[in-house]
Amino acid sequence: MTRTAAFAALLAGAAGPSAAQSLQGVWQFQRQGHDGGYVGTVVIDRDQARNKGRSDRQSYSQCGSVQIKGDAIEIVFTLVKSELPYSPDRFYCTLSGGPALVCYNRDLAGHREPVSFELRRIGELPDTPAGRLEDVCPPRDRPVSQARRAVDFA
C-alpha cells in the first residue's frame, strides 16, 4: 500500500468537522531528544492533543492541537507544565504503513532531535476524564458572542 493510500485509509473513517478525529485515541512514544531521553503518552481527542511525559530530568505535561496538511500530521503543543524550564514540542509526523506515525520533533526553542521516533497507537479514546488526560489542559471555554444589536451602531 502506498503512503498516500495508507493515509487515505487512516482518514477514511473520519466524521464531523475534522479529519483529526480518525487519529483519536491514546498514543505512546519513546524518543531521544537533544538533551536526553523522553517517554510519554499523547491523547488525541478531535483536534486537541494532551501529553504527559518524563525525561531524564523531570516530568512534564503539554497541551496543544492536531493539524493535518496534505499527508503530513503536526501535533503542536503550546502550553507546558513542568518542574524545570521546558520548551513546547512540535511533532512532525507521517504514516509508517502500520499502527504508528513516524515523527520528528522540533521544539519551540528550535532544537531538532537527532533521530525520528514512532508515535504508536495503543488504544481508543478512554471514557474517563482521567484516561483522556483532561487534568493536563484547561477546559476550552464556550465562545462568547461579540455580536452587537443593529441599534448600537445608530
Section 111-132 average pLDDT: 90
Which range has the worst mean pLDDT, 84-98, 106-120, 133-147?
133-147
Q: Strand 36-45 and strand 48-55: pairing?
A: antiparallel
Q: Give residue 115's pLDDT.
A: 87
Section 84-106 average pLDDT: 90
Element counts in the chain: helices (H) and strands (E): 1, 8
Higher pLDDT among residues 150 and 72, named by residue: 72
d(CA 143, CA 151): 23
Section 26-51 average pLDDT: 93
Higher pLDDT among residues 107 and 144, named by residue: 107
Q: Give residue 17's pLDDT.
A: 38
**Confidence label for 6 from pLDDT (cuts 50, 70 and 90):** very low
* Residue 129: partners with Cβ closer than 8 Å, 6 or more residues away: 135
d(CA 22, CA 101): 13
Name the amino acid, one letter, at 79: L
| Structural domains in the chain, sorted by start | 3-11+18-137 (2.40.128)
Cell of 111: 532544537
Give me the chain's average pLDDT, please: 81
Query: Is the pLDDT score of 14 beyond 50?
Result: no
d(CA 49, CA 26): 10
